[in-house]
Amino acid sequence: MLKNINKYLFIFFYSLLPFSLMFGNALININIIFINLIFIYECLKYRNFNFIKERFFLFLILIWIFLIVNSLLNLNRTSETYDGLIRSLSFLRFILLVYATKYFFEKFNSIKEKIFNFWSIIVTIIVLDIFFEKIVGHNLIGIRSSSDERVASFFGEELVAGSFILGLGFAVTIFLIIKNKNASVVKKTYANLFLILIPFAIFLTGERSNLIKSLIILLSFLFIVDKKFLYFKKKNILIGFISLVIISLLILQSTFNRQAAIFNQINFLNKTYEDKVEIIKNVQYGQHYLIAWNIFKENIWLGVGTKNFRYVCQNKKYNDKYPAGCTTHPHQIYFEILSEQGLVGFFIFLVFFITVFIKNCLILKNSKNLYHLIYFLFYAAFMVPFLPSGSFFSTYNAAIFWLNFSLMNYFAKNSKDNYNSY
């Protein structure tokens, strides 16, 4: 036990990552810091720093340095706080998480099942809790959402249950399917049922952007994976999801009200260009995007610095024109990067996104690794332009992104595991 203390500490803190996402940024950061400290200790103990020679690691460090320098250059944006600089400095914790994941998962191959078993319990509880809250009006411990049309689950005032399920639900589903592929009918049914329940749970939360992303992942997965791998027929999975959606729209008025607004957005496509511009100007997300775009045009090279959108958007010239547009971030990662990191930062991140996408596509073409596939599909859905999203640099959203990225990176490097292949 003592000989492998770092192994068990890593399993403990990595298993708790979904739990920490439910209880705030402080716990998320503490959790990731402990994982990184264990990793650094291992590197020092065994004098193993080979990862710092990797070109990809150096590219991530380049991004980190750029964020720090850009934050320093934009300190004059606000005299109230150094949050932007602190957030840029702390970006290093996600880089280390990528390599801590790869190191421990490679060194102790058996830890994956222990970690994913715990994650599957957490995700199952959250999914059931979403169903319970939607029917009863409060969750299993009495928490009520701030909106009748949204579901908070255990997240309280933060309406992010859908992003949590999107970030972890499909990964857990693949784990259960692989684990139970030779198990009893009941276990196979339970595992495959998650392909229906994950997007349906997101649908019930009222998070439309995450619903679209979940459908991108589900449809892409069903298109790519051979039907013999699944216990349910592909058409039955889609029929099951559609049936649950229709039933919920018929019996749950709050769900119907929330989704009815989509028809106004669909009707948007039939409008003239001038009408479309006016509609965008009067939609809250449209105003977020327009302020971000205007901030970018006025600070084209370096933007206004990490976490400074919230301060700059308070300028009267934006508030008078877009009264609903000023918020903590633009709610879309590309507009966020453009407004806060400028053209230089946008180019760096675009090279990063595209390089990772192409590299993983090529690996998938040859490996057909199911774990790698599902994390790649999450990455691809996360990168879809124009869909509203959380802040790319916030602790919660960044933790979900980099956790999935870390696992995608590990399975890309270890894509020849035949027990994962389809």
Mind listing the pLDDT tens digit for each residue in 295-350? Answer: 999 999 999 999 999 999 999 898 888 888 899 999 999 999 999 999 999 999 99
Q: Is residue 422 part of a domain?
A: no
pLDDT at 418 (0 to 100): 47
Split at pLDDT 50, 70, 90, the class of 288 is very high
The answer on 263 and 379 residing in a single domain is: no
**Across residues 384-405, what is the average pLDDT?**
94
Query: Average model confidence (pLDDT) for the chain?
Result: 90
Share above pLDDT 70 across residues of the chain, in percent, rounded to a whole number = 91
Q: Are 20 and 27 in contact (CB under 8 A)?
A: yes
CA distance 240 to 285: 32
The first and second tokens of residue 107, run together, are 């060194």
Q: Is residue 70 part of a domain?
A: no
Q: Is residue 38 part of a domain?
A: yes
Q: At which of 269, 293, 308 does a domain end?
A: 269
Split at pLDDT 50, 70, 90, the class of 417 is low
The answer on 276 and 248 residing in a single domain is: no
Neighbours of 191 (CB within 10 A): 24
Q: Does residue 253 have a pLDDT over 80?
A: no
CA distance 388 to 209: 6
Q: Is residue 58 part of a domain?
A: no
Vertex 398 angle, CA 394 and 402, to 5°: 165
Range with the poorest average pLDDT among 245-254, 275-284, 374-383: 275-284
The answer on 278 and 263 residing in a single domain is: no
The answer on 213 and 322 residing in a single domain is: no
Q: Does residue 369 have a pLDDT over 70?
A: yes
The first and second tokens of residue 97, run together, are 């998480």
CA distance 406 to 101: 6
Q: Which residue would you say has higher pLDDT here, 182 or 43?
A: 43
The answer on 216 and 298 residing in a single domain is: no
Q: Is residue 251 part of a domain?
A: yes
Q: Is residue 64 part of a domain?
A: no
* Neighbour-count burial of 21, counting CB atoms closer than 10 A to its CB (0-12 exposed, 13-18 middle, 19+ buried): buried
Q: Are 329 and 286 in contact (CB under 8 A)?
A: no
Q: Which residue would you say has higher pLDDT here, 259 or 181?
A: 181
Q: Does residue 129 have a pLDDT over 80?
A: yes
CA distance 314 to 295: 11
Q: Which residue would you say has higher pLDDT here, 71 or 268?
A: 71
Q: Does residue 269 have a pLDDT over 90?
A: no
Q: Is residue 119 part of a domain?
A: yes
Q: At which of 239, 269, 299 does a domain end?
A: 269
**Across residues 149-165, what is the average pLDDT?**
89
The answer on 393 and 383 residing in a single domain is: yes
**Across residues 238-260, what is the average pLDDT?**
84
Angle between helices 161-179 and 370-382 (to 10 degrees): 160
Helix (H, G, I), strand (E, B) or coil at 110: coil
The answer on 243 and 105 residing in a single domain is: yes
Q: Which of 16, 11, 32, 18 is nearest to 95 (CA)?
A: 32
The answer on 188 and 333 residing in a single domain is: no
Q: Does residue 77 have a pLDDT over 80?
A: no
Share above pLDDT 90 across residues of the chain, in percent, rounded to a whole number = 72
CA distance 286 to 289: 5
**Across residues 354-367, what is the average pLDDT?**
93
Assign residue 271 a region (left: φ > 0; alpha: ψ between -120 and 50; beta: otherwise): beta
Boundaries of domain holding 199: 2-48+91-269
Rg (CA), the chain: 22
Split at pLDDT 50, 70, 90, the class of 419 is very low
The answer on 155 and 241 residing in a single domain is: yes
Q: Which residue would you say has higher pLDDT here, 373 or 253?
A: 373
The first and second tokens of residue 259, run together, are 């989704």
341-360 burial, b if ≥16 CB within 10 A, otherwise e?
bbeebbebbeeebeebeeeb
Q: Which of the given ranges, 143-147, 227-231, 372-376, has the highest pLDDT on average?
A: 372-376
Q: What is the DSSP string of 278-306?
A: HHHHHSHHHHHHHHHHHHHHHSTTTTT-T
The first and second tokens of residue 79, run together, are 């005299």
Number of domains composing the chain: 2
pLDDT at 420 (0 to 100): 55
Q: Is residue 286 part of a domain?
A: yes
The answer on 326 and 296 residing in a single domain is: yes
**Across residues 203-217, what is the average pLDDT?**
94
The answer on 128 and 110 residing in a single domain is: yes
Q: At which of 269, 302, 336 does a domain end?
A: 269
The answer on 176 and 280 residing in a single domain is: no
Q: Does residue 405 have a pLDDT over 60?
A: yes
